[in-house]
Every structure is written in C-alpha cells, then in structure tokens.
Amino acid sequence: MKQNTMFPNLIQKFISDEELKPLIELVGYEDTARKLDVKTLIQYLVTAAACEWKSLRYCADVSSSAGLVDVNYSTLSKKMSQLDYELMKNVFDLIVRKCNRATRRTLKIPKHLLLVDSTTITVGKTRLPWAVYHGQRSGIKLHVSFSLETQMPLKVVESTGLTHDGPTGEQLADSRFILVEDRAYFNIQRIDRFLEEGQDFVIRMKENVELSHKKSLQRLPQKDSNVTHDITCLLGSVQSRSEKRHRVVFFKDDEGREVRVVTSLRHVSAEEIANMYKARWGIETFFRWIKQNLNVPVLFGTTENAVFNQLFAAFIAYVLLHWLYKQTKSSISKPNLSSVAFQRMLLTGALPLQWWDRMVLFLYHYFDQSRRSLSKFG
C-alpha cells in the first residue's frame, strides 16, 4: 500500500543542511553514513510517530513506499542507539521556534498561560534496566511546558520515572508567561523567589501547608462563583515560613472539593485565578493525545539514546501536525475538522480537497518566504 510521503518531504524542507550541521557538531557526532544519515533518521522517526508505525521492522518494510530510502531495520536500531539524543532534542527546539511565532509576537501583558506538568511512560522492568521505576516496571518521565495559546509544547525535559517533578520544574520556568502548576511543583522558597524575580504563577498548594497572618481581600461577589475565600497570608510553619506575603484563592472544583492556589497576581479577580488553574487540564489533554495518536508508549529501542530519540521525534511530529492544522484551519470554515480527524485524513490521503489546497498553498508561500529571507541575508 502506498504510504503518505508528507512528512519526509516536510522534514527535508523544514530543516536545512546549514541548520543541521552545527547541531550535529554540537554533540560531537560524525555523520559518515552515506545512506542513513542524521536527516534521514529524523525523517524515519518523525514519520513513524505521525503514521503510528509499530516497530522498526515495520518502518523498514514500508519505508520506500513512504518516500524514504530503503534501509534494514537493524541499521535503524544501531543508528538510534549511537546518535546522542541531545541532537534530536535540539532539532525539536528548532522546530518549536519556527512553529511558535504567534507566541513570540504576543508576549506582552496580559501574559499568556504556560502549563507545566509531567507524564510517565512505563514498560517492563527488563526492557529499560537503566530506568527502574516501581515494582516490576521501568519508566521514563517527560516534563513539559505547554503554551495554552498555541497549544504546543515549548520545552521538554527528559528524566527517569523516579525523578521528582519539583526540581526539574526549575528548568521550565519562563518569566514571559504565567506558570500554572500542580502541587508537585509547590515550594515556599521557590515562590518567594518568583516574587523577587518577577515570575508570575498560579500554583496549587499542598494540603498540609499552614496559613498565618491572614487578611481577607475585598472582592465583588459574582453570581454562581465557586470561590470561597480570597486572602493574603504567610505560608508555612514557624520553622519554615515564607518571607513574602502571598495571595491564596480557595475555590471548589467540579466535584465540590476545595482547592487552594497561591498566586503572584494581585489585580486579577479570584474567579479568573480559579479558571487559570482549571486551564491546566489542557496539558493533560495534550499528554493523552500524544499517547493515543503518536505511538509514544510503543518504544522501538531499549537504550537511553534510542528511547529519547524516538520520543523527541514524536514531539516534532506533534508540533508539525498541529502547526499545519492551525495554519490551514484559520482560512477554512467548512468542512470543520478536529485536529485528530485532520491528522488521520492527511496521512491516509483522504483530506478534503479544500483543506489540501489551502495547506499546499500555505506551505508554498511559507517556504518561498523562507528562501527569500535566506537569500537576503546570505
């Protein structure tokens, strides 16, 4: 069966040899292969994620029909294990910068939300002996900052499954955004520091945190509001108390349970603060989407390089798919396709003609403009 050749062609155009060469040199890798070079491996792994290919053997079997060079699956496996995954991570960062231009244009007050959370992928203990998790399971964890505005990840930090979220979350803070985080990222010294550094945040507090020197804030009551208290206070016990006064908003979730969030935002209504925290569900939806639609739980290799090369390639596939969907959808009213439907129809060649024409036209203008920019400054 003829496979879709969209992604090999897209990667070929999206990442120039001039951009890839310094990234290869940065990790000290010598790309001497004639057939399966680094760019071809990227094409393989991104296409495999988008098309949900289930194994390296299957990748090799269908490669030629998908517009890829014909290589043996053992060659793919060897290359994945040898190539430092930092290179794939840097390629992901490059793609994010190219596809997140809307974010860079709109980073002005009011700031946009940056959702921070992690997801764990587990397999049998013998599969990844270097990533022991719990019991008879091994696991790796992906810590992600996710832009609610663009619906795209901005940064991904990889670790083994037993790594705590809190310390890793330090690498995902970004003062251009309002951080929205769950209890795992709460730390009194950290939020004190955030106030000093100008990092805005909405973070759920741990249940056992003491509140002292409370002062209620004046607020206009809103009809059907789920907010129960809005105060400023000091956080923690006498032995470990915050140096700064913090605003804490209490509200009821959809199941009637009380939630306490601490925030740096003083000129925003308590209801808006509650809604910001509820928006954290967006990153949970993202995690579910990549696991269901990009073959993420099916790991092709067992070494650290093989695993993270595959996973960062899956993130590249997501960014490119969502970017294509968003750019095409903006100029089409009917038929109205969800992002999942767009992906399925694109990769099976069933995309409605109107959508296909718009996407091809957009890509033509995008790459034409890129060529003009390169010739202008080159």
Instruction: Write the pLDDT tens digit of every residue in 197-247.
Output: 999 999 999 989 999 999 999 877 777 889 999 999 999 998 899 999 999
Listed in sequence order, the residues at least 6 apart from 210 whose beta carbon sits closer than 8 Å to its beta carbon are 235, 236, 237
Report the relative pairing of strands 178-181 and 152-160 from DSSP bridges. unpaired
Q: Are 200 and 265 in contact (CB under 8 A)?
A: yes
pLDDT digits (tens, 9 = 90+) for 337-367: 888 889 888 888 888 998 999 998 988 888 8
Band (pLDDT 50/70/90 cuts) for residue 110 is low
Give residue 371's pLDDT.
63
Domain ranges across the chain: 6-97+302-377, 198-271
- Exposure b/e, 4-24, CB count within 10 A at least 16 = b: bebbbebbeebbeeeebeebb
Report the relative pairing of strands 211-216 and 227-235 from DSSP bridges. antiparallel
What's the mean pLDDT in 90-99?
92
Q: Is the predicted pLDDT of residue 374 greater than 50, yes or no?
A: no
pLDDT digits (tens, 9 = 90+) for 252-291: 998 899 999 999 999 999 999 999 999 999 999 999 999 9
Percent of the chain residues topping a pLDDT of 90:
65
Give residue 4's pLDDT.
65
Greater pLDDT, 371 or 171: 171
Q: What is the dihedral of CA 357, 363, 365, 371, to 10 degrees?
A: -150
Q: Quick one: which of 90, 93, 91 has its CA closest to 153?
A: 93
Q: Residue 33 phi/psi, 5° resolution?
A: -65, 140
pLDDT digits (tens, 9 = 90+) for 11-55: 888 898 999 999 999 999 988 888 899 999 999 999 999 988 989
Q: Is the predicted pLDDT of residue 108 greater than 50, yes or no?
A: no
Give residue 106's pLDDT.
45
Greater pLDDT, 221 or 325: 325
Q: Are 213 and 200 in contact (CB under 8 A)?
A: no
Give residue 3's pLDDT.
57
Q: Residue 320 phi/psi, 5° resolution?
A: -65, -40
Q: Quick one: which of 37, 122, 20 has its CA closest to 75?
A: 37
